[in-house]
Structure 1
Amino acid sequence: MTIALTGSNGFLGWHTRVLAHSLDRTTEPLPLGDKFDIGSATGLMERATTLVHIAGVNRGDDDAVREGNVRFAQQLAKALGEATSVPATVVYANSIQAGNQSPYGQGKQEAGRILRKAAEDAGATFVDVKLPNLFGEHGKPFYNSVVATFCQLASEGKPLEVKDDKELRLLHVQTAAEVLLGIHAPDDAHNLATVRKVSEVAELIGSMAHSYTDGTIPDIANTFERDLFNTYRSFLVGERLPIMLNRKEDARGAFFEVIRSAGGEGQASFSTTEPGVTRGQHYHRRKIERFTVLSGTAEIAMRKMFSNEVLTFPVTGENPVAIDMPTMWSHSITNVGSDKLYTMFWINEIFDPASPDTFPEEV
């Protein structure tokens, strides 16, 4: 199954690619705007089973925003019209703002009208998904959403200022991707969203950031809180990721605390690893997984999906740290010492064979 995907390098596009990868579906980018090529686009239409149109223009002067969204739809309509065969389904990542009086709303509405007609004329099923405010891992602060902005500020220890305390309908971007790829019905973009005031979001993120300063996992029993916490954690990737643990040692031996959780499920496990052996080589879309070396010497490695940059962290039992794997980063742990490695793992939910949320991917 091949998915033709516009906007594949954007926020929602990247998350849609991750979801498709976890489902063993292939995505191929379809460039629009100045990079649009009718020959390449037509060829992709003829071999794709689904077209997902995410690309949009939401910054610039009024004409650029309005006409930019219309132009993208016109380019896709041309490719659909010239292809000898077309995807069975055309999915449009629309907005709840479509049809309002803003240039963006007008552009999104007209783009939807153009794309619907082209899809139906070509014999494809058209799916119009009106998305609310999206939030999630690796959102761009001061651009994608106020959630990303608050997470960035909280990660830097800065105050979270609320200027317009309005209600927001918030949908995690992975859930939005699930709607686009047909795992949920189009109306679920509305039904699965959570309504919170801006001040409530700021309070939640501030509280989570405070709890997590010493490695305490906040109460994430609720799906929205879990997704919000995973979003916040994505702003800590790098030097701030390892959490120092207080190791105490006396004549009896050594002791240190590994995990504190304020609420929700949890499951702990333990492994031994022989020298030179690597464990892991997978990623999670929702789970929080903590690695803590109890004894021995290891290297933890991780890579953001579709990126080539690998982050590595040397860890030992003598100076223990907790490292929580960021969602949608493949990760592994390798015994780089000469002795057996003892590692404790904690994950925030009890393992469910029917929904393991563990997808093979080498770092």
Structure 2
Amino acid sequence: MRILVTGASGFLGWHTRVRLRAVTDHDVIAVGAANWRDLPELVGAADAVLHIAGINRAPERQVEVGNARLARDLAEALDRAPGAPTVLYANTIQAGNGTPYGTGKAQAAAILAEAAAAKGASFVDVVLPNLFGEHGRPEYNSFVATFVHKVVAGEPPEVQDREVALLHVQDAAQAFIDQLGSAGVQRVTPTATPTGVAAVLETLRAQFAAYRRGEMPALRSRLEVNLFNTLRAAMFPAHYPIPLVRHTDQRGSLVETVRAHGSEGQTFVSTTAPGVTRGQHFHLRKAERFVVVGGRARISLRKVLTDEVVSFDVDGASPGIIDMPTLWAHEITNTGDSELITVFWTNELFDPEDTDTYPEDV
């Protein structure tokens, strides 16, 4: 299928495109502000449209009018399209709550539903709760992004405790993928995890306190794993490598490469010949650790769907932790003249039916 994604460079749009790249063979047409004027032509080439573009931070009138305007632009493009692509709309639980944002999102849903009906196209209203995840913008995408930024910076965030339902952004992306084959008119509300604002902050603080020492915090639930991956994304790359202590006596030396608090996991060791590269893939959920304990290597990472590359030159003589952030393609190359010895650790046991490993060159 050819999937058009509006708001393609935004938080949810980028995550959705990465997931489409990882778990499907669909062609993706990315639409943002730069090519918005080409929307009629681009919609005409699509089998499905994921309308994610929206305005949530602007003067109140612009938020309300802007979201409806984006929907009208898409409705006009649908009207001119030769076919009838399925329309999926990134709505919100705030729709219709009387705020400018809620009013604008509700109006956009009505506009798109009407446009789809006029074309005889399927329409899926995906009602999303509070989203969070890797690379969210503080003070913009979610309170979780704000908390993560302040915890890493050592700043005390303002907390107004309340119950809240959270959905990781990759789960929101999967909700769109699951509905690509829907027929007729559907309303979908992905299942979120109930928690509290203060509880989220307490978890992030505990995770950061352990992780800044190189230790893996307890990852007892999917929510804790997703919060940890969000925290790691905010720390990358400035907080790496995390130095390790080499304990040496007359017998030799010992380095504690992984100290995990209550988490399952798997440790393995690889040897790599000079000049050889391993990896060249990315993960959507795994926490993965690289520690070179013998030889020299270059570890390079690229944020998926971007040209942003970060590299670390590491030496087994001074072991340090480089953890692979989710949604970043990574590789390790032996840059020395001798065999490279690397210790790897992941927070979950290897499952050949669900490896969470997606090929991608750095």
Q: TM-score, normalised by structure 2?
A: 0.95
Deviations 1:53-109 (A, max 9, x none): 00111122222111101111111111111111131x210000101011111111111
Q: Which residue of 1 aligns with 2:5?
A: 5
> For the residues of structure 2 that align with 1:19 and 1:229, how far apart are their CA atoms?
19
Aligned-pair distance for 1:183?
6.5
Deviations 1:175-206 (A, max 9, x none): 01111121799877442x11222111111111
Write out per-residue CA displacement over residues 303-354 of structure 1, whole angstroms, 9 at most, x where no aligned residue.
1112212111111111001111000000010000000101111111111111
SS at match of 1:181: helix
Q: 2: distance between equivalents of 1:208 and 1:133? A: 21
Aligned to 1:275: 274
CA contact (8 A) 1:6 1:13 kept: yes
Query: In 1, distance between residues paired with 2:262 and 2:187?
Result: 31
**Which TM-score applies when normalising by structure 1?**
0.95
Could you say what secondary structure the match of 1:144 adopts?
coil
Instruction: Give the distance between the partners of 1:190 and 1:29, measured in 2 at CA.
Output: 24
The answer to whether the 8 A contact 2:48-2:88 is kept is: yes
Distance 1:14 1:62 in 2: 25
Q: 1:68 aligns to what SS in structure 2?
A: helix
For 1:198 and 1:254, how far apart are their aligned partners in 2?
Answer: 44
The residue that corresponds to 1:169 in the other structure is: 165
Query: Which letter does structure 2 place at the counterpart of 1:174?
Result: Q
Report the RMSD for the aligned CA atoms in angstroms. 1.7
Aligned length: 357
Q: Where do 5+ consecutive residues of structure 2 fail to align? A: none
Work out the CA distance in 2 between the residues paired with 1:228 and 1:189. Answer: 21
Distance (Å, rounded) in 2 between the aligned partners of 1:131 and 1:198? 18
Distance 2:43 2:234 in 1: 37
Match of residue 205 from structure 1:
204
Find the aligned partners of 2:361 and 2:11 in 1 and give their Cα distance: 23
Q: Corresponding residue for 1:30? A: 31
Match 1:150 to one of 144, 147, 159: 147
Q: Distance in 2 between matches of 1:180 and 1:278?
A: 35
- Residue 348 of structure 1 is matched in structure 2 by 347
Once the two structures are TM-superposed, the CA of residue 221 in structure 1 deviates from its matched residue by 2.4
Unaligned runs of 5+ in 1: none
Mapping 1:320-331, distance limit 5 Å: 320-331=319-330
Contact 1:176–1:189 under 8 Å retained in 2: no
Task: Give the deviation of 1:264 after TM superposition.
Answer: 2.6
2:132 aligned to which of 110, 132, 135 = 135
The counterpart of 2:104, out of the listed 103, 107, 129, is 107
**1:1-363 map, 5 Å:** 1-23=1-23, 24-31=25-32, 36-37=36-37, 40-87=38-85, 89-162=86-159, 164-182=160-178, 189-191=189-191, 193-363=192-362
1:358 deviates by: 0.3
Does the CA contact (< 8 Å) of 1:171 and 1:189 recur in 2?
no
Residue type of the alignment partner of 1:14:
W
Moved more, 23-32 or 111-120: 23-32
